[in-house]
Every structure is written in C-alpha cells, then in structure tokens.
Structure 1
C-alpha cells in the first residue's frame, strides 16, 4: 500500500514523501478495526509531530496524521462490521490503518468522507471549550479568533447553534467572508490596530462574554472582554506562548481557562460520549455543516496542504483524499 512514513525528525512538511510499497497492517488485534482510509484531516500539529516538537513523540518509523474517515475492512468488536462508514483518530496518512475502535465513530448521515475526515478533533474541541469550560449561554457575545480556521469555523457554528451573538476575527477579506457564511454576526480583521475597539462597538460597549482563542491573543482580548468574561485558551497558532499580566484578569473578573480535549479520555472519560451525543444531535439537525477548504489534496500533495495551514493561506478544514478505489471487503 501507499503511505507516508517518517523515519527521522524532519525540517518541515516539504520533506515528507510517499512510500509506494509499505506493508499492509497485520490482522487487527482485539478491540481494533482495520479501515480503508478514504480521506484524512490535516492539522497544524501534524507539522509539529514530524519535527519532534509535539508533546507526543512516537517511535520511528511512524505514519503521521491525526484524523481520518473511511470504510471498515475488518472488525473485532460487535459495534462495527465490514462496510461501515466511520471516522476517527489515528495514523491517517496511509491507505489502510489499524485503529482502536474506541477512537472511531459512525459517519453522520448525509456527510461525505471529506466532511467526516475533519470531525474528530475540531468539533469536540470547540464544543467542549464553549459548553464545558465557558458555559456559553444564549444571548451572550462570543468572540472567535481565527474564525475561518479548522477549530475556529467549528466554534462559530457551535456558538450560533447555542444562540450566542458571534463576533469573528480573521486576517483577510476572504476569511472574513467565510466567517460570515458560517454564521458570524460580525467579522473583524484582527490585523487592524483598533480591532478591540471595533469589537467593543459591535457589542454596544458591553464587551464579549466569551473569547475563543486558538491563536494567542489573550492579552489583547482582555481589552474588549466584559465583566465576568471567560477567555478560552485553545492554542498558540501564532507561534509564541503569551505571558499575560494578571491584573488584566483581576480588574474585570475575567476567567482564563484552558481546553485540552485529548486529555478528557484520561481525566474525565464520562464527558466524551456526552459531548459526542450533543454534537451528533447538531449534525443530524443540520445546524452544523463541516466547512472545507476549496482545494482537496491527495496523499502525494499532503505536504502542500500542511504548508497552506502553516502559512495561513487556507481556511476552514483542510482535507486530503487518500483512496478513491472501491473497498475490497
């Protein structure tokens, strides 16, 4: 089979290459599924992973990638059978993978493989942040940074579905238009020097009740956060970890809270099915429709897709088609 295999730490995505004759995975162990990968979701952390800069450092050789969708080829658990359409988390830059059934879910009705490939990390991250951590309520103002990105686009949709008034920020006209299409009530360019003043004006001086920040804009956001506001720390896409003056939080009773969705499996496992049940209800209702970058990549062009994420030229969820062949069950 074809797969991208990493044998050493790389300088960047440009050094990734497809191996044409990788051995197929062995028979799945008890509790595992063997899946033909149809599409893979590309993420910023994939680049960190291949550079050895991510908190998880798999032993060499390894297949990178964190999200996939596909068709079950072999199953060792009663919950899935060959032919089922599934999405999940696992080493996804390969035509066939073995994955734990605990990390796999059925694809929602009416979703394509491309739409499903980007669900597993982005949507529960945004839902858990807004609901479990920030307790966002209908009628509140929610500021979503990088609103046209992967987790940001999910956050805009979820916040709107919860009844919030959404103010989106992005760094280009194209991305601002995308945020409005996703449901944002107001879209503001965070490259403008007075963007925080624009946010305050959009809230009639109230300020935002919740800030969703995957970029690293906490300090600036405190200038337009309301009394008792909650700032969600999702990530640091701009590349530096902020040091925020604590008096900024004190003066307005602001709470700054982190969200590490992947750690819920270990620390609060009961929350995981709770979040997915809520998300599936929103998927089935049509309130959440995965937004995809207009260019769909392939296994061979995954490096280009990762570069598009890294240089911020992409928007929404970046996807690669891995296999277009009919499954051989």
Structure 2
C-alpha cells in the first residue's frame, strides 16, 4: 500500500527526512513514533501529496505521489494536526460537502455524515457553525471529515490530541471498526504511548529524519529494554551475594535482573538463589513500555519537549 525508496525532504539547511525506506502492506496498522521535529509529519505530508520530496520516490496505493497526485488523493484520508473545516460553515454541511468532493452521491454522503456525527459524539453541535465549536469538537469534526469517504488508506497525524479520555476511546474504537469492516490500512503518529501499544501491530521509531527501529511493540520492548525482575532481601549482605551469583545490579537490599521474559525467568532465578543458600523476601516483575524503548534508542523520553495540551470537550 505504501512504498518509499530513499525518500528525502530538505528545507534550506535542515534535512527533515533523510532517505527513508518504508513498506506498508495492505491492511496494516502502523504507528510512527518520534520526538518533535523527528520527521514524522513531514513524511506524512509527502505521502499525502501535500509537499513534494526533495529526493527519492514514494508510491501510495500503487500511484506515484508526485506524478499521480489525483489518484493518490482519491484513495486516502488525511487527518492533520490543524483544523480543516471552514469556520463559517455548519459541521454537518462540511461533512456532506467533503463526501461530495470525493464523488459520493448526496444521500450516501448525508447518511455517512450522520453516522460519523453519532459515533464521534457530535450530535448536539453538528448543526452549529464551526467557529462556535470548542477545540475538541473541531478536532472530532476534522476526524469525521477524514473518514467520510471510508478511505482504503487513512493517515492520522496525532489524531487524539485535544480529546478527553472518553472521546479518545471512542475514536480508537471507530478506527479499529473501520479497519475490521473495510480492511483499511492505517498509518498514525501519536504521543500517546498506550495508543500505539494497544492499536498498532507495528511500530516505527523515527529520529533525525531516519528510521531507527521497526518491529511489533512486543518485540521492540523485549529487544531494546526487557523485563525487570526485582528481588528483595532482608539483609544487604545477602543482596550482595545474590548480585554476584546472578551477575546483576544491586540497589541496597534489592537486586535487579534484566530478562527477555521476566515471568518465565523468575522461577529459575529463585532456584539459582536457593541453590546458593540465599532466601528471597520479595519478588516483582515489571514490564517495559514503549517510552522505555524510545528512551533506550534516543536517550530521551518521547514525552520530553511535548507541548502542554488543553483538553476540551
């Protein structure tokens, strides 16, 4: 569904995207993670024909993003970070107009608009002018506009920003239903690590315009961080002996062991310590997060530098 070769974008002295090679199969749900300025949004804007690449090439749905822009745009939905609806227009009318622009007949466009209004909780405000809506309501309207024609490929650039937890959950559910019903391919960027972890079957980490990791969330966490088995002891000298036995880190009376599968490794660790005559007073297994992965790969948290968000309903 998406294929790029050495895709590059240069803005004067800044190389925002630096030779990205990317393949996304039909029906995949892929999350792009990276800090502000990593090149995620620039990559999406090239793939959606909004800006041309400086070098390299890309095809979307089998069509070249430079030479066949119309064919690409007919097959995609794009929900960017800005607001797309006209301020003086009514929300429901904007949805119908958007559907008509994609070639839908009036009645199907109205039916689809009504469906999206209901599913995204816009029923009380859909017939108001856009300028009177709150930021969160406008965000939901933008999402509805991107979904109006049920695209085969959907790009979501931080879609949940500004939404309260309930509407975030509603949006995620709608996206997953859309994918299941229509086998929609979805590419999203997000700063919500739980969103990427729960929704995406594949996570791509971008930093300084390059892809630095690409795998399932589970394999990324296992490969780059691992589980931590934390063993507690009543006496510090026992902890010192346990750390030597296991070749592990010690902090006071606690010993921390990094393992690929903590729950599976914990019984073996206890057996090894028992054989050495060491009794464990407590045990805890902690699982890594995608933010831990990002910290390991880039040296900083994905949350660092993130702008403060005002949640509006």
Q: TM-score range by the shorter chain?
A: under 0.3
- Relative to the length of structure 2, the TM-score reads 0.28
- Relative to the length of structure 1, the TM-score reads 0.27
Q: Which has the larger radius of gyration?
A: 2
| Higher normalized helix content (fraction of residues) | 2
